[in-house]
């Protein structure tokens, strides 16, 4: 599939209709889904209807937005009115939201064409999309491997070109890590830049919705369309949204110093040698583009993972209390009494990973352990934040690998939650600090699997991150390589 800009010009020059573009995406979905399994629900009728509306606008001589007529995938934890939203869980198997999330509302107003709801780890808990209650999504680069997670369906759909762009959500790395494993661009915005209204809550102080694209430009266009204040989300920031594209420049030389800091602690133990080599090479290329490179120490970085695995499950245990068989979704048949109904509904409706998190969270928040775990974790969270604040006094952007490894085999880590948790070692601290970060392709390993690097910015510096990513992408073009899929 072409880029947003190319499709936009095809539409306004009347070379193609939005219906034809939607049909192309739906045909790819039909051909590839048996192999990739990115989508939980395919919304062909709705897509064609939305495309017809765009065509009608063009025929009437009206102006259309960049995203008008662009096929897009939406992670299945964002509420879509009238369209089943499962969050990858049995407990929401038949949940049809009566309202629209702010992000999808904005996209539909811009004329975007939703082709389907994408697969995900149950309640966004996971790093491989294998904890989905429905299906296992394959990595388009090697279908025996995972796409990463939890937004693995969105990442795989974009990599397989089943849609042009997609939305994911990122609580500890769920956009960036699958973007890295699938060889696409993925961005987690500053906490509060994108409204969470209508996003099924996992850990509310960490959750952020963000874009996936095959290029930095596509990613930036999608971010621009969903970002901005929303009175329906109390944590939404009231700040103007810049035009991200207008800042794009091919290098940094004309603008004086751009200081990039390599996070020392992310290199070493547990990092695959090919990943380290690719990111090191990328740093050299950024230097050639005019960046000044320093090594930065973030000593608290390594406490990110244990801190996250107290805070995220604690918030999840509170957020998931609403799935009791009464208010939403699934309920067991013929319970003996009310308590029996709660217990059995939850026992059947939730998968193993979700239950594990609810138990950890409930334990960490319980009266006797609150101070030792939850309160302590919040203090460490502050220290991690301060590490970043110090770092950003010295540099403008931080760089590190996105994930310690390339895509692993399906089933390889499902019995070992700790090794699965390690996938997010480098992404989690960013969520704890509420900062923006982008993952973009920076090479391939010897098996042809994509490698991603992560650029981290200070609060609301999405513009700078996108610009650095754009300049790097222009100089390297890793995104020109495509997976060879069975029927494509
Ligand atoms: N893998 C992490 C977890 O399981 C992060 C998930 C996410 O960002 N939603 O919690």
Atom of ligand 1 nearest to the CA of 126: 4
Neighbours of 311 (CB within 10 A): 25
Domains and CATH numbers, the chain: 4-254+395-480 (3.90.1300.10)
Tell me how long the chain is. Answer: 488
**From the CA of 46, how far away is ligand 1's center (Å)?**
30
Residues 476 and 462: their CA atoms lie apart, in Å, by 21
**From the CA of 389, how far away is ligand 1's center (Å)?**
24
Closest C-alpha to 208, from 194, 224, 229, 197: 194
Q: Which of 150, 180, 236, 423 is catalytic?
A: 150
**From the CA of 309, how far away is ligand 1's center (Å)?**
10
Is any atom of ligand 1 closer than 6 Å to the C-beta of 424? yes
Is any atom of ligand 1 closer than 6 Å to the C-beta of 79? no
Return the best residue to mutate from 150, 310, 413 for the ligand 1 pocket (most ligand atoms within 8 A of CB).
150
- Does the annotation count 419 as an active-site position? no
- Does the annotation count 195 as an active-site position? no
Is any atom of ligand 1 closer than 6 Å to the C-beta of 161? no
By the 8 A CB rule, do 136 and 144 touch? no
**From the CA of 203, how far away is ligand 1's center (Å)?**
9
Atom of ligand 1 nearest to the CA of 312: 10
Atom of ligand 1 nearest to the CA of 428: 5
What's the pTM?
0.98
**From the CA of 488, how far away is ligand 1's center (Å)?**
31
- What strand order describes the sheet that includes 450-457? 39-42, 113-118, 71-75, 165-170, 208-213, 185-188, 437-444, 450-457, 397-401, 258-263, 291-296
Atom of ligand 1 nearest to the CA of 421: 1
Q: Is the peptide bond before 150 cis (omega within 30 degrees of 0)?
A: yes
Q: How far is CA 204 from the centre of its chain?
A: 15
Roughly how many angstroms between the first and final C-alpha of the chain, as a whole number? Answer: 11
- Does the annotation count 314 as an active-site position? no
User: pLDDT in tens for each of the 488 residues of the chain?
Assistant: 999 999 999 999 999 999 999 999 999 999 999 999 999 999 999 999 999 999 999 999 999 999 999 999 999 999 999 999 999 999 999 999 999 999 999 999 999 999 999 999 999 999 999 999 999 999 999 999 999 999 999 999 999 999 999 999 999 999 999 999 999 999 999 999 999 999 999 999 999 999 999 999 999 999 999 999 999 999 999 999 999 998 788 877 766 689 999 999 999 888 999 999 999 999 999 999 999 999 999 999 999 999 999 999 999 999 999 999 998 889 999 999 999 999 999 999 999 999 999 999 999 999 999 999 999 999 999 999 999 999 999 999 999 999 999 999 999 999 999 889 999 999 999 999 999 999 999 999 999 999 999 999 999 999 999 999 999 999 998 989 999 987 65
Neighbours of 59 (CB within 10 A): 10
């Amino acid at each position: 599939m072409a880029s947003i800009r190319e499709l936009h010009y095809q539409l306004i020059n009347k070379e193609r209709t939005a219906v034809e573009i939607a049909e192309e995406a739906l045909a790819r979905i039909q051909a590839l889904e048996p192999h990739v399994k990115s989508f939980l629900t395919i919304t062909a009728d709705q897509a064609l209807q939305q495309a017809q509306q765009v065509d009608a606008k063009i025929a009437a001589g009206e102006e259309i937005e960049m995203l008008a007529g662009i096929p897009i995938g939406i992670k299945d934890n964002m509420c879509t009115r009238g369209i089943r939203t499962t969050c990858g869980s049995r407990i929401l198997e038949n949940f049809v939201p009566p309202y629209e999330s702010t992000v999808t509302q904005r996209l539909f107003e811009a004329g975007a064409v939703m082709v389907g709801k994408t697969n995900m780890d149950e309640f966004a808990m996971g790093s491989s999309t294998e904890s989905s209650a429905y299906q296992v999504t394959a990595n388009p680069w090697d279908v025996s491997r995972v796409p990463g997670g939890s937004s693995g369906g969105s990442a795989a759909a974009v990599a397989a070109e089943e849609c042009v762009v997609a939305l994911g959500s990122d609580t500890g790395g769920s956009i960036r890590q699958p973007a890295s494993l699938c060889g696409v661009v993925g961005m987690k915005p500053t906490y509060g830049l994108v409204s969470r209204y209508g996003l099924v809550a996992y850990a509310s102080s960490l959750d952020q919705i963000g874009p996936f694209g095959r290029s930095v430009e596509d990613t930036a266009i999608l971010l621009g369309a969903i970002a901005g204040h929303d009175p329906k989300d109390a944590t939404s920031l009231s700040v103007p949204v810049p035009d991200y594209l207008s800042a794009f420049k091919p290098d940094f030389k004309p603008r004086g110093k751009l200081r990039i800091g390599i996070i020392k602690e992310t290199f070493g133990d547990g990092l695959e040698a090919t990943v380290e080599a690719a990111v090191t090479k990328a740093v050299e290329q950024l230097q050639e583009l005019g960046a000044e490179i320093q090594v930065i120490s973030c000593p608290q970085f390594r406490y990110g993972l244990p801190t996250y695995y107290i805070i995220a499950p604690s918030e999840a245990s509170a957020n998931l209390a609403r799935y009791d068989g009464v208010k939403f979704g699934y309920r067991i048949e013929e319970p003996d009494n009310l308590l029996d109904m709660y217990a059995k509904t939850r026992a059947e409706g939730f998968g193993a990973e979700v239950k594990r998190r609810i138990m950890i969270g409930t334990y960490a928040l319980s009266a006797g352990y609150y101070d030792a775990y939850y309160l302590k974790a919040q203090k460490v969270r502050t220290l991690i934040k301060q590490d970043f604040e110090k770092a950003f006094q010295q540099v403008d952007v931080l760089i590190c690998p996105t994930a310690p490894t390339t895509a692993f085999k399906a089933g390889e880590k499902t019995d070992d939650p700790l090794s699965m948790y390690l996938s997010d070692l480098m992404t989690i601290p960013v969520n704890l600090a509420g900062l923006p970060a982008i993952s973009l392709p920076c090479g391939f390993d010897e098996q042809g699997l994509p490698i991603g690097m992560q650029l981290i910015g200070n609060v609301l510096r999405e513009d700078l991150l996108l610009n650095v990513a754009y300049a790097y992408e222009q100089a390297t073009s890793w995104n020109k390589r495509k997976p060879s899929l069975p029927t494509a």
